[in-house]
Every structure is written in structure tokens, then in C-alpha cells.
Structure 1
Amino acid sequence: MATILVTGSSDGIGLQTARTLIEAGHRVILHARSESRAEGLPSEAAGVVIGDLTSLDETKALAAAAGACDVVIHNAGVGGGQSEPVLTGDGVERIFQVNVLAPYVLTALVPWPARLVYLTSGLQSGGEVHFDDLSWRSRRWDGMQAYSDSKLYDVMLAFAVARRRPGTLSNTVDPGWIRTRMGGAGATGELSEGADTPIWLATSDEPAAKVTGRYFNRRQELRANPLAYREDLQEELLAACAELSGVKLPD
């Protein structure tokens, strides 16, 4: 059985993922944003790590607390419903920091696992690249575009890691439109559906799951936004994240 860290596992898809993995006998480390968010989480978990992903210091501390894992599922994320850009205490736009910079920092600081799974969204198809304005200081704010961009960057991060670290299986998943706080009451998918493919990529020995640098939905490999495959843009993203966080992705 594997030791698996699931970020953002205090509710929604993350909690469903963690519960299913625990039931399957895996050693699961849960993550919550705060102590209050950690209350009532499954007692069968191997542990709970606390850290607000809007803070670089807390994200770095979270990586140290989690330690070595066989698998990391980067599930945590925020949506694009806000009416104006919100800068974190680190001076970074909140959606980018939580959805992209935090998983980058955790990837860089947690000892290399055997598998990495990054949750993205089908909205990555409409994502754009703006490395010169990641915090929306010069562009007119569009929350859904900011979210779509962040989900494209997640795919790029997964692909960059797959290319740079061939010994680690690094893939990305669109879980679908799932009924969560982010997805809303009108969403068509159940939590179990959203958790299924991340769990499959994290644990399955099927040949279709033991690949790297791929984009999935419902266990089916799909083509992502063409920008995600450009190695020059992947490297620019890594460089931007390294500059913002002060953390370099190890070779």
C-alpha cells in the first residue's frame, strides 16, 4: 500500500479521494487550510498537515510536515468567481498562487514521489499564457479567464515535471463538472466520479495508468490545450514560479 498526500482534502473531491484511498488500505495524509477545517476529518488517516496555500511560508512548512510520500495528488484549488483580483500577502494574485504556485512549491520541496497527479479543468482549453502579468496588474480583470489560465498552467507544470523527471509518473486530470462548492449545485457529476481518475492514476498498475506527461478525463487520455505541450513555455512557467517563490525545481 502507498503513502499518499492529498492536498485540499477537507471537503469535495479531495475528501472523497482521501476516504476512498483509506478504504482501499492506503496510508493517506490529509491536508487542510486551517485547524478548524481539519476538525472532523477521517480518524483513519495517517495524519493531517495544516497549511494555507495563499501563503508561501505556510506552503513551504506544509511540504516539510508532509515528508516523503509515494504519491502526491495536487487537488487543492480555488475558483474564479471573485469580482476583482485579490493579492495574497506574498503579492501574488490568489488564484495563481493557490492553483499553480503552491503545487509548484510542493513539487519542488516534497521528496520526489513515484507518482504525481495534478487536478486541472476542462477550462484549460481556453487558458492563455501571460507570464509578464501573472497577477493581473496591467490587464482588465476576468476571474474565469484567470481560473482557465491557472488550469492551463497546471497542465504545463505536470508536463514539465514529466519531461524533467522521467522516473516519476506525472499526469493531470480534468475531474469533470462535479457537485462541489466550486462546481455548484447545477453540476452533473458525483463526487465519486470526480475522484475516480485521480485515484486510478495514483494507484493502478494498469498499463494505461502507468504513463507520464498525459492529460486525462474519465480514465481516457485526451489532447490538452496546444500551448501546454510547448517546452519553451513550460520552462518559462518554471522560471516564473521559481522567481516568485524563491524555490527552484530540483533536477
Structure 2
Amino acid sequence: MARILITGSADGLGRAAAATLLDQGHEVVVHLRHRDRMAAVQDLLAGPARLVIGDLADAGQTHDLAAQANALGPLDAVIHNAGVYTGPAIAQVNVLAPYLLTALIAPPRRLVYLSSGLHRDGHESAAEALAAGLPISYADSKLCITALALALARRWPQVASHAVDPGWVPTRMGGPHATDDLREGHWTQEWLVTADDPGALVGGGYWYHRRRQAPHAAARDPAFQERLLDALAQATSVVLPMVG
């Protein structure tokens, strides 16, 4: 059975994926932003779940969160699920924190990053905005995280790195009028971190409901990927390690 860290596990898609994977017999590392949210995952922690705590909007706490994860021992997979739709923390939570955790946690065999269909409205100039500490839009953040996932598949071929569009689902972020199926919204992530299917084992995919799709052309462009990685290293003062 796999040991899987899921960021943003207190509610929504992260919590649903954690519950499903626990039911399947996997060991899940649950992540909370603050200790005062413990009640939301008390039932998960009654089973074979572990806990890490840290606010991804805070770079220092993100570093500490990575240290907590490493202290638990090797991970088989990380699902970078946490995200925000509005507010000043979009860049930090949606892009910089996943990058930091990726660079600081011992590389697992599988990585999954939550994207969005809105990433197709993102702008390549977001890379330079991140380096300069400027705000970016939600769409920009999802273009960047998709490009990061695909860049890692190229840089770390032994790690199966994928991006997933969960659809517009009725979570706290999606709202009650969302039209996609909630189960479909977390099924792909669970499959990518556990399945022996070649589609899951070979990185570089952008997925929607277990169907591989073509992302924004920039996300697949090695030149943009390298610009983004340089920008993320500049913004965080952490360079992505070589793995091999």
C-alpha cells in the first residue's frame, strides 16, 4: 500500500480523496492549514492517517511543512490539492507553495498537481510576475502549475508527474451551482497515485475525468517551462534539485 500526502485535506476534493484512499488501505498524510481545523479530520486520523500542519500562504510554514513530511519517512505520492480562487495569496498558495514542497520533500514516485480548465486563459507573463513578486490571476496560477507538472515529467522522468483538471464540482470553492460530478472530481487523482496502468505510470499527462487532454500550448513548451522554473527559483530562493 502507498503512503500519500494530500495538501488541503480538511474539506472538498482533498478530504474526499483522503477518505477514499484510506478506505482502499493506503496510508494518507493529511494536511491542515491550522491546528484548529483538527475536528474536520478527526475521523480520518482514527484510521491509518498521519498529520502535517502548515499554512501554505506562509513561505516559512511551507518550509516547515516539508520538514514534517520528510520526518514521516519516504512518500510514494503527493497530491498537490490545496488552492485558493481569490485573494492576495493566489500566487503563494497555488504556485509557490507546491513548488517549494516539490523541491524540499524527498521526491516520491508520483506527483499530481490540481489544475483547472481555466488555465487556458492564463498568460505566459505570469512567470515574470512571480519572479517580481507581483500578483497573478487564478487562471495564470493554473497555467503555471500545469507547466510545473509537465516540466517535472521532463526533468524527473523517473517520477510520474501529472496535472489534473477536476472539473467544476460542488465544493466550497466550486459552490453549490457547480455542474460536474463530485466523485469524478477526485477519482483521477486517486487513480494516478495508485494504479499500475501505463497511463498513470508515465508522467506528462494533463487529465480530465481520467481522459488525457491537450493543455495550453505554453504548458508543454520546454522554453516556457524553463522560464517558469527560473522564476520560481528566484521567487523562493530554492532551486529545484536534480533527481537521478
- Identify the residue that residue 73 of structure 1 maps to in structure 2: 79
Match of 1:134 among 118, 130, 136: 130
Q: Give 1:135 shift.
A: 8.2
- Identify the residue that residue 60 of structure 2 maps to in structure 1: 57
Identity within the alignment, % = 47
C-alpha contact (below 8 Å) 1:3/1:27 kept by paired residues: yes
SS at match of 1:209: helix
Which has a greater percent of helix? 2
1:70-219 matches, within 5 Å, as: 70-80=76-86, 82=87, 86=88, 94-130=89-125, 131-134=127-130, 146-219=137-210
Distance 1:193 1:3 in 2: 22
SS at match of 1:116: strand
C-alpha contact (below 8 Å) 2:131/2:231 kept by paired residues: no
Distance 1:250 1:137 in 2: 22
Corresponding letter in the other structure for 1:73: I
Distance 1:23 1:190 in 2: 20
C-alpha contact (below 8 Å) 1:116/1:168 kept by paired residues: yes
Q: Give 1:210 shift.
A: 1.8
- Identify the residue that residue 35 of structure 1 maps to in structure 2: 35
**Greater than 4 Å deviation, 4+ residue runs:** 135-138
Q: Give 1:209 shift.
A: 1.9
Distance 2:129 2:210 in 1: 34
Q: Aligned Cα RMSD in Å?
A: 1.6
Distance 2:77 2:154 in 1: 18
Distance 1:177 1:136 in 2: 31
- Identify the residue that residue 10 of structure 1 maps to in structure 2: 10
C-alpha contact (below 8 Å) 1:159/1:228 kept by paired residues: yes
SS at match of 2:215: coil
Which 5+ residue runs of structure 1 have no aligned equivalent? 87-93
C-alpha contact (below 8 Å) 2:130/2:235 kept by paired residues: no
Corresponding letter in the other structure for 2:85: G
SS at match of 1:13: helix
Q: Give 1:189 shift.
A: 2.5
Q: Deviations over 1:98-149 (max 9, x none)?
A: 00000000000110100000000000111112233238987xx8xxx70001
Corresponding letter in the other structure for 2:108: P
1:221-232 matches, within 5 Å, as: 221-232=212-223
Q: Give 1:20 shift.
A: 0.2
Distance 2:53 2:149 in 1: 24
SS at match of 1:189: coil
- Identify the residue that residue 91 of structure 1 maps to in structure 2: none
Which 5+ residue runs of structure 2 have no aligned equivalent? none
Distance 1:122 1:17 in 2: 20
C-alpha contact (below 8 Å) 2:149/2:162 kept by paired residues: yes
Q: Give 1:208 shift.
A: 2.2
C-alpha contact (below 8 Å) 2:13/2:185 kept by paired residues: yes
Aligned residues: 235
